[in-house]
């Protein structure tokens, strides 16, 4: 029915939490990060930073310290998508309204690109939320030496899937409104 490969990829993407021990190649990781950086961003500020985590001892520390990242294994890589909040400072002064949080939208679009690209090349990924939970932000900031003007949005784990769950059926006509809510 859906003949377009991109749309099929969007509709069949699933969250993967179980990874084999086969490591993600540097080439694949680079492709995922390229896809992430191709996201649109408010005023083209591209406020993202990516911390790629491959060191086994650091992965073990994260696995032991972060209850939401217990699925870390030998094969997977971690990618922490962060936003640079300092980019908005001079713009706020002229606009009078606080647009700082545009980084959240831009970094989320970048994260979604990354998940879609992973699925497209046969990898699986899970987006674990960090911001706006302050305890998670602080913990990750400490573990990864993230400076104050940079905020970790999430920790994405990516690897070779043990198996692919069936996509969830999410289409819901009740979410649609026409011309007015």
Q: Does 171 bind a second copy (CB under 8 A)?
A: yes
Positive or negative: CA dihedral 135, 137, 138, 140: positive
Cα angle: 130, vertex 137, 133; to 5 degrees: 55
> Total number of residues binding a second copy (CB under 8 A)?
78
Considering only 19-27, 63-71, 140-148, 157-165, which stretch makes contact with a second copy by CB under 8 A? Answer: 140-148
Q: Does 27 bind a second copy (CB under 8 A)?
A: no
Paired residues of 72 in beta bridges: none
73 binds a second copy (CB under 8 A): no
Q: Is 81 helix (H, G, I), strand (E, B) or coil?
A: strand
176 binds a second copy per the rule CB under 8 A: yes
CB of 86 to a second copy, least distance (A): 14
Burial label for 158, CB within 10 Å (0-12, 13-18, 19+), is buried
Are 16 and 164 a contacting pair, CB within 8 Å?
yes
Does the protein bind a second copy through residue 46 (CB under 8 A)? yes
| 108 lies in the binding site for a second copy (CB under 8 A) | yes
Cβ at position 48, least distance to a second copy in Å: 6
């Amino acid at each position: 029915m859906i003949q377009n490969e991109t749309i099929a990829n969007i509709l069949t993407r699933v969250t993967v939490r179980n990874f084999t021990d086969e490591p993600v190649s540097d080439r694949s990781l680079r492709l995922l990060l390229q896809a992430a950086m191709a996201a649109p961003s408010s005023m083209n500020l591209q406020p993202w930073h990516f911390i790629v985590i491959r060191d086994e001892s650091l992965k073990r520390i994260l696995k032991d310290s972060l209850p939401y990242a217990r699925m870390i294994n030998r094969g997977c890589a971690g990618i922490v998508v962060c936003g640079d909040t300092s980019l908005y400072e001079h713009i706020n002064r002229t606009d009078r309204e606080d647009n700082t949080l545009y980084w959240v939208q831009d970094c989320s679009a970048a994260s979604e690109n990354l998940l879609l690209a992973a699925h497209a090349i046969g990898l699986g990924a899970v987006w674990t939320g960090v911001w706006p939970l302050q305890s998670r932000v602080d913990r990750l900031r400490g573990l990864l030496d993230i400076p104050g003007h940079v905020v970790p949005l999430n920790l994405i784990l990516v690897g070779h899937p043990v198996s692919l769950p069936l996509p969830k059926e999410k289409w819901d006509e009740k979410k649609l409104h026409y011309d007015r809510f």
